[in-house]
Structure 1
């Protein structure tokens, strides 16, 4: 299944949600995320991708807002249904991008959920892309810190992609087969750990 679309609501398979990309069209980050999501799909999960275009529709998070937009409601409701997440961010100035952080800030809406507050006990795969190695490491570290704050479990392996060396194409591939395998491992790990957390029933 193409990671950009979600299976029909009648599909009872557990859901892996991908969050990531950049504003302005499909990016290396979003393409990397799609590869990881497809790998989770191959393990029997349905998938939903919130890419750059989706995150661009989310207003800046206002914790005191009386109403949420349809896009905000859809995003939060989808994460609530998820058994696992994969988060991908470009490395901007040594950390995650604003649009990815804004989407994650919106998960404050789940703080008082009785079934699962935030990302409690949820496996979360991480991907960072940057034009050089230095920003990939600090971006992965920032993502791990955020996931811990949201009570989630970052999976053991995180994919750090140097886009100066690896190029992605419109067909869903990448110039380095090793990078593709790393991204697939991210997807396989979230699929493997979701049942252990009791979230894939």
Structure 2
């Protein structure tokens, strides 16, 4: 998985953060996200992936909590450094998964940030995976609504992956070249729109 941020924390390269996956091992969603992040990395960006394991360590978001765990602080601080995001969610019952929603809820911590509250003016790429096509569309629609609510800019292209027919491998590939190209397009688009967010910051 791509995690160039920890390898070069002092780098002046802009950062793309990936959020997505499922609890219980590396999923198709997380593999799809890693491919998109790799494409952003090839455009000259640092990348960091918060997958299922990382999101699983985030407690349920409590807006009244007076302290945050180290994992919560790391997540929020990393998003604050980002010039772009890529969010990937499996389609659960026609919408995004609880673990992804919980991570996004934690961004309420940025509401009073002076430089950039929430995801203001940030490009955000979207990926939805589901076992069948029906849930991919509604999951992408839900992600777009959330990004709009957080004042971000969903990029024009979003990738829908039917995990019933698309299989990912441990080497970072998939059996469908068209899906690979779509995922790479998500990463390329956030990288190309990111300079707008950099100028804003």
Does TM, normalized by the shorter one, top 0.5?
A: yes
Does residue 152 of the first structure (1) align with residue 157 of the second (2)?
A: no
Instruction: Judge conservation of contact 1:122–1:199 (CA < 8 Å) in 2.
Output: no
What does residue 18 of structure 1 align with? 18
Superposition deviation, residue 198 in structure 1: 3.4
Q: What aligned pairs does 1:48-197 form with structure 2 within 5 A after superposition?
A: 48-197=48-197
Q: Within 2, Cα distance between the matches of 1:44 and 1:200? A: 19
What does residue 3 of structure 1 align with? 2
Superposition deviation, residue 186 in structure 1: 0.1
For residue 164 of structure 1, give the secondary structure of its aligned residue in structure 2: coil
Q: Within 1, Cα distance between the matches of 2:43 and 2:55? A: 26
Instruction: Judge conservation of contact 2:55–2:99 (CA < 8 Å) in 1.
Output: yes
After superposition, the CA RMSD in angstroms is 1.2
What does residue 40 of structure 2 align with? 40
Superposition deviation, residue 139 in structure 1: 0.1
Q: Within 2, Cα distance between the matches of 1:32 and 1:109? A: 28
For residue 198 of structure 2, give the secondary structure of its aligned residue in structure 1: coil
Q: Within 2, Cα distance between the matches of 1:200 and 1:11? A: 19
Instruction: Judge conservation of contact 1:83–1:199 (CA < 8 Å) in 2.
Output: no
Q: Within 2, Cα distance between the matches of 1:160 and 1:199? A: 30
Instruction: Judge conservation of contact 1:84–1:191 (CA < 8 Å) in 2.
Output: yes
For residue 16 of structure 1, give the secondary structure of its aligned residue in structure 2: strand
Q: Within 2, Cα distance between the matches of 1:199 and 1:176? A: 37
Unaligned runs of 5+ in 1: none
Superposition deviation, residue 196 in structure 1: 2.7
Q: Within 2, Cα distance between the matches of 1:185 and 1:17? A: 16
Superposition deviation, residue 200 in structure 1: 8.7
What does residue 30 of structure 1 align with? 30
Instruction: Judge conservation of contact 1:25–1:52 (CA < 8 Å) in 2.
Output: yes
Unaligned runs of 5+ in 2: none
Superposition deviation, residue 172 in structure 1: 0.4
Instruction: Judge conservation of contact 1:37–1:187 (CA < 8 Å) in 2.
Output: yes
- CA deviations on 1:42-89 (whole Å, 9 max, x unpaired) are 000000000000000000000000100000000000000000000000
TM-score (structure 2 length as normaliser): 0.97
TM-score (structure 1 length as normaliser): 0.97
For residue 158 of structure 1, give the secondary structure of its aligned residue in structure 2: strand
Give the direction of change, closer, same or farther, for the CA distance of 1:14–1:84 in structure 2 (3 Å limit): same
